[in-house]
Amino acid sequence: MLLRSDVICKKLTLLTVCITASSALFLAGCNDSSTQAVDNKATNTEPDLSVFEGCYTVSSDEPAQIKVSQQEGAWVMQMKEPASANRVWDTPEPLEVLDKAQIPNFFSIDPDNVDALIARPDRVLVMAHVKTAYANIDPLLDSEYLSYIYKGANTIYRVDCDDINTDILANPHANIIIDNVGPSS
C-alpha cells in the first residue's frame, strides 16, 4: 500500500506544480506591459484632421461659406467675403485640435461616435467629424459634420470650394414690414 500512496503523492505534487506554473503564466500574461504600451499608444494618437479639409455651408444647396485648410503646417479656417472686399476669402484664422472629452461642451453626441474635433481658439467655431458608420445609421444626422457656431450646434455640409464672392451680408427679409401689433401709445 505504501507504494500506491507514494505514487498518488507524486502525482498530486506534479499536478500542484502544473497548476501553479499555469496560474503564474496566466497572471504574467494578464499583466503584460507590452500590451499596455500598445493600448496606451492607440488611445493617445492624434486624430486625422484631413477629414476637415474642404469647404462648408449651413445648407447643402448653398455655396461655400467656410473653408478649412492646412497652411504652413497649421490648420486654419476662412470665411467668404462679400464682393466689396475685393477678395474671396478672409484672413486665415488658426484652428486647434480639441480633446474628445470636450465634446459634451458643444454637442449632444456620444464622444465614441466622433473621430475628430477642431476649433478656433475662441471657440466661436467648433467642428466635429462624426464617424461615417454612425452618421449613416443616425436618422437625425444628414451629414458627417457638426458645427457649433457661436452658441448653437447643427449639422453643416461639405460642398465644393469655389472662388465666387457671396454677399453674406444680404438680408432676404429686408423688404418685410412688421406692423406694430401692440397697443399704440
DSSP string of 60-74, one letter each residue? TTS---EEEEEETTE
Asked if residue 29 is part of any domain, the answer here is no
Total count of domains within the chain: 1
Q: Can you give the residue range of the structural domain that contains 146? A: 49-159
Question: Is the confidence at residue 83, as pLDDT, over 90?
Answer: no
Give the amino acid at 88.
V
pLDDT in tens, 87-146: 999 999 999 999 999 999 999 999 999 999 999 999 999 999 999 999 999 988 889 999
- pTM equals 0.65
Asked if residue 58 is part of any domain, the answer here is yes
Average pLDDT over residues 29-55: 63
Give the residue ranges of DSSP H helices in the chain. Answer: 2-30, 33-43, 132-137
Asked if residue 15 is part of any domain, the answer here is no
